[in-house]
Copies of this chain bind each other. A is one copy, B any other.
Amino acid sequence: MRIGVDLGGTNIAAGIVDDDGKVLAKKSVATQAQKGPDVVLADILRLCKELMGESAVPVRHVGIGIPGTVNSSRGMVLMAPNINFKNVPVSQEMSRLLNIPVYLDNDANCAALGEARFGAARGSQNSITVTLGTGVGGGIIIGGKIYTGTFFGAGEIGHQIIRAGGNVCGCGQRGCWEAYASAASLIRQARRWEHRITTSMIAEMAGGDLEKITAKIIFDAAGAGDGLAREVIDEYVGNLCIGLGNLINIFQPDVMVIGGGVSGHGQGLIDAIECRMPDMVFNGDVLTKFVIARLGNDAGIVGAACLGE
């Protein structure tokens, strides 16, 4: 048994995870980021103690996924703006208080590790888990282990530039993959068609309120045959595949896991990706397998529980 903690900007979720990657018990509390790191860490400590108290067998260690940059060797959060952490040592003190080892890593890395050990990339050696949500995040697994980069900042795959001089990204650069492949970008691309969208199934499915358009609605409208939605999805998948192709040309993993909100479209998305990939990959020989993430919201907990193993 081990405990995995998924520390997010909104909630702290912690779970007991068994040796088969199953979450046996789960607890969560709101993240009181505005009260400072001490309060957040005290809440994590309390959740862990409660779970340890309820566990029938001893808990071997705790792993925590952090929404930011983490020095995983020193167990220290370097920078996590969403939760107001900057240069906060975590592992040593918490390990002393719980009397078991406490490991830290970045949350996207934890999700990738979870998928690699117990999810969609189970059995693979080298995998990349791409999260298509508000942004585009990624975790890289090499030889079964998290690849953090030399200075713990690797895996910013959403900020590879695929269209230099193109759309403005949240990071300030132009042409980042994230500015084309995130769920937010997909919605933005649909809204760009001001005149056509009002008469499309997209608007209809959103109840006439363009603010309520989601990635799912656009995929659903495309599936139902809406012309505009199909065009938007087609362009979206094209840009998605450029970044995926770049990652394969550079890294050639066995498995590429697609997670996040957009991955809800499931096999249809995988089919669309696989159809385009031979054009994107050098020599046209696509050996990497594409799969939808399997652990859903639990990926962070399961992956964090695998840290240090």
Q: State the A residues within 8 Å of B (CB).
A: 124-126, 140, 142, 147-157, 159-165, 171, 173, 239, 242, 245-247, 249-254, 279-280, 282-283, 285, 287-288
| A245 to B252 Cα, complex, angstroms | 19
- A153 touching B242, Cβ below 8 Å: no
Nearest Cβ in chain B — how far from A288, in angstroms?
A: 7
Evaluate contact between B242 and A157: CB separation under 8 angstroms: no
| Assembly CA distance A142 to B155 (angstroms) | 14
Shortest Cβ distance from residue A293 to the other chain B in the assembled complex, whole angstroms: 19
Task: Say whether B252 contacts A150, CB under 8 Å.
Answer: yes
CB distance from A37 to the nearest CB of B (A): 20
Given A150-B125, A161-B162, A163-B164, do A171 and B282 touch, yes or no (CB 8 Å)?
A: yes
A160 and B163 contact, CB distance less than 8 A: no
Q: With a 10 A CB-CB cut-off, give which of A157, A162, A250, A280 has the most chain B CB atoms.
A: A250
Known A-B contacts: A149-B252, A151-B254. Give 11 more (CB < 8 A): A142-B147, A147-B251, A148-B252, A150-B252, A150-B253, A151-B287, A152-B252, A153-B287, A156-B250, A157-B250, A162-B162
Q: Are A245 and B161 in contact (CB under 8 A)?
A: yes
How long is the Cα–Cα vector from A156 to B247 in the complex, in angstroms? 10
- Chain B residues contacting A249 (CB-CB under 8 Å) are 156-157, 159-160
